[in-house]
Structure 1
């Protein structure tokens, strides 16, 4: 039985409402922070400052809340900014910049009251207008945010974003300086989880309007979170110090945080051993032994590692050929022999941890929707080739991004499995991580690796990724019945029926197979004994507000 770490979350949300988090990758720099920045004096003497040293893995694409929609940006952003609510130590939404909120009897209207002592890092008060401005910026079509779909629950948001409505139709309204009203399209119980996502963080309106590039430099950055941006050496390191203007600054123990941008896991691990980092992920080739020795903590994470097919190009326009390539992959072997970090092979797209109204886990109810079967894969390939009139399968190239070695190892394993199980030779292509996502979004790669980390605590977040024209789709696949099920689920107020619709949708997408999942993520972590209080959310991002360092 898997751990249901979202049970408490949904119970809490239900109690509160009574009515009612993508995935990115990599950069490489092995520079160690200078003594003045990491709290160590000459010959290793401590200066007394509590500076936590972490590895972000890569340069953040942006620290603009409305466009920072991948993990290397959202992790630091989650500690520089704060939304109306924040995920607490128990992973449930709790009051943050908002001191309280009310929900109308019909579950459609939320009224948030912002704290009087909630300030920006420059000392200005955080206002309801800052939230209204930011949320409307999120869905402004000119922003072109990949995260805009997250706001579809808000009345008028999707219409403004697709050009069929105006900004005045978006039902986010600052009633006064400290009161924000939000009207939803339907009474969805996951809304409180949803708005803990960094996409819903506020923006200091005056700064944004005066300088469109405010978020690119420490000199111009203004946040409202536990830490403020004090230095940013692009592609090298990012530094934060405690934000004394933060409403809860008294409960922030760290003096600061330095984020390195080291792409290579072995390099980061070596730095960790030398005391230059306080926490890292174990390198893939050492993970098994480190886990066996009890040196690694394994945390839950809602996310899936998978491969996409480009369904608009040969040969993956054919469903049976896609199914053949999926069923020829031994996922259990990849988890146990290639990754070796305690992950779970994926038999569906939605990971474990999402609790149904019955109390059962969504994944356990849905079960495994496809299986490893070499003979069936061979038969499907033969039938698919016959349908397309192929005497020979057109050339196939598997693309993966540079960075963590497991991407290459998995791609090589797939190449070997296709050679052994289907007698097909496929080519491998490594694409620089800096351009990988752009090429994938541009439908330029025939078969490519992907990852999905949940943005908020509901299965719809996984499944809405594959509706037609979603910025997360990246396969060219479109299915009217699937789109309709997702649309119906978003306006369905009955939770039992809503989960039924989601199961039906997942069955369709795993039958059509525009992608195939490999495994569900976890979070393996090596951490110094001097560190305490870091909260790693299964859905959401790392929380340093409660972290401490005692060296």
Structure 2
């Protein structure tokens, strides 16, 4: 899924904080009335979701809330492996193409209505209905027989989904795929209440979900309150309420004043958070992500339709120095595409090393020579804020290759959902694993047939490798095929891998069992307070 851009969020919140300081008097915290704590309530800060519709959501900002309010057949456990959620038991046919899921009989929507197999069929067909305009359904439901036909408007139902009875769902996929159940942990496959959806276009602002929490209050740009679902089909959440303060100012300031209990740590505060003699000693949680930050090259637009130009741009950036200076050790330099803890990771894979002379020689060898056209790089952002790392990368390209580069910012919502139509010559992109399988990076992001392939790279050999790996039933053989595919992508410089990210989070001592998974998502239903 698309990453949350923490640098942008920090910058925007920082501006809001500065304005608050001006209106209240610089650093006069007395003008901010602290909230009165409610028992068993966790206080957090955030920027808020873009949507609460599971069929549409494709980024972390929205997933944080959707995974608390809704649920699906499967969820990821602490080891990032799919385990049954609304699915109680299931069987798989010998050829690996047919699944029969039996739902938990005690599963109910928040209003008490039982969850049925018909609800799942409706939810998936709604996601695949072209009118819904889901940009995730093809990726996460497209393996199901008939799903692509419905997405293309050629069918009114998904032929591979059958509600046998209220508790039994039969699903047929197009080929045996080891990662299929993991795909069903993604919000696109979550169940929604038909009556709720058809009541209003804005139904998702007052959703009737199945998750461990209910949406109690949502005042845009102010706060969101989640309330425990006491009828949850698994063990109910330990917290009674979760209150998110939206765009309320610097998370570090709110944490220091006791207005929130957990605070993400951004680049500008990491030194204070890591100070062993500082006020936050012992409160910092460090959680590696299964994620990749990279700059993609649009291989269908000049000058990146030339492999030598792409290779030159990879070699002209002193990435190690830029990361060290601008990221303060918060990230890990990426030589390839797969994160180190991902199955199939190739520790011997090395990308293009920094070498200005070789970069210039490659550029001279290209069909553009030393006469590059003006280049535009697309970035998620606002207010003309360019992150220092990106500014440094652009400076390297301009100084070392004589390139002329302009940054075009897209509003985060447009970037998240419409980049396919907006991408320029290059783009900055961040991806977090939806499940720990190399398919979720290499196939989802770079297969020529994939919706997220914004590089538009086409190579029949790569397609064949990825498709073969997707259906191979032997794990070791699958990973070897994915490593071959990754090597093709790196050798052809389809992107410039930047880094693998890590989450840094401050947690008050009385907050217990708060942890982030490899996606950076907290399992809030297991959190409790030592009050």
CA distance in 1, matches of 2:174, 2:378: 40
Per-residue deviation, 1:121: 0.6
Residue of structure 2 in register with 1:138 after alignment = 127
CA deviation profile, 1:505-537 (whole Å, cap 9, x unmatched)? 222222222321100112111221121222321
Q: How is 1:183-262 mapped onto 2 (pairs within 5 angstroms)?
A: 183-215=172-204, 217-218=205-206, 221-248=207-234, 250-262=235-247
CA distance in 2, matches of 1:224, 1:110: 22
Question: Does the 8 A contact of 1:535 with 1:546 survive in 2?
Answer: no
Residue of structure 1 in register with 2:481 after alignment = 501
Change (3 A) 1:469 1:183: closer
Per-residue deviation, 1:45: 8.5
SS of 1:166's equivalent in the other structure is: coil
Residue of structure 2 in register with 1:36 after alignment = none
SS of 1:280's equivalent in the other structure is: strand
Choose from 58, 63, 67 the match for 2:56: 67
Moved more, 84-93 or 459-468: 84-93
Per-residue deviation, 1:429: 4.2
Residue of structure 2 in register with 1:478 after alignment = 458
Per-residue deviation, 1:169: 4.8
Choose from 66, 70, 74 the match for 1:77: 66
CA distance in 2, matches of 1:304, 1:377: 24
CA distance in 1, matches of 2:231, 2:397: 57
Choose from 254, 261, 268 the match for 1:278: 261
Residue of structure 2 in register with 1:417 after alignment = 396
Per-residue deviation, 1:327: 1.6
CA distance in 2, matches of 1:59, 1:284: 20
Question: What TM-score do you get using the length of structure 1 for normalisation?
Answer: 0.84
Change (3 A) 1:63 1:102: same
Change (3 A) 1:159 1:494: farther
| 2:319 is the counterpart of 1:337 | no
Per-residue deviation, 1:430: 4.1
Residue of structure 1 in register with 2:25 after alignment = none
CA distance in 1, matches of 2:275, 2:384: 21
Question: Does the 8 A contact of 1:398 with 1:448 survive in 2?
Answer: yes
CA deviation profile, 1:436-493 (whole Å, cap 9, x unmatched)? 3456321343222110111122111111222235331223332232223222222323
Choose from 92, 109, 124 the match for 2:113: 124
SS of 1:123's equivalent in the other structure is: coil
Q: How is 1:364-443 mapped onto 2 (pairs within 5 angstroms)?
A: 364-365=346-347, 367-384=349-366, 387-388=367-368, 390-402=369-381, 408-437=387-416, 440-443=419-422
CA deviation profile, 1:77-122 (whole Å, cap 9, x unmatched)? 0011111222234433322222222233333322222122111011
Residue of structure 1 in register with 2:513 after alignment = 533
Moved more, 470-479 or 252-261: 470-479
Question: Does the 8 A contact of 2:290 with 2:501 survive in 1?
Answer: yes
Residue of structure 2 in register with 1:154 after alignment = 144
Change (3 A) 1:472 1:365: same
**Which structure 1 segments of 5+ residues have no match?**
1-20, 33-41, 356-361
Change (3 A) 1:89 1:460: closer
CA deviation profile, 1:162-205 (whole Å, cap 9, x unmatched)? 45x53545312211111112223333232232211111110112
Residue of structure 1 in register with 2:26 after alignment = none
CA distance in 2, matches of 1:466, 1:205: 35
Change (3 A) 1:133 1:251: same
Per-residue deviation, 1:73: 0.6
Question: Does the 8 A contact of 2:315 with 2:354 survive in 1?
Answer: yes
Q: How is 1:30-179 mapped onto 2 (pairs within 5 angstroms)?
A: 48-56=38-46, 58-148=47-137, 149-163=139-153, 166-179=155-168
CA distance in 2, matches of 1:82, 1:318: 45
Matched pairs, number: 505
Question: Does the 8 A contact of 2:35 with 2:259 survive in 1?
Answer: no
RMSD after superposition = 2.8
| 2:310 is the counterpart of 1:322 | yes
Per-residue deviation, 1:63: 0.7
Change (3 A) 1:450 1:111: same
Change (3 A) 1:424 1:168: closer
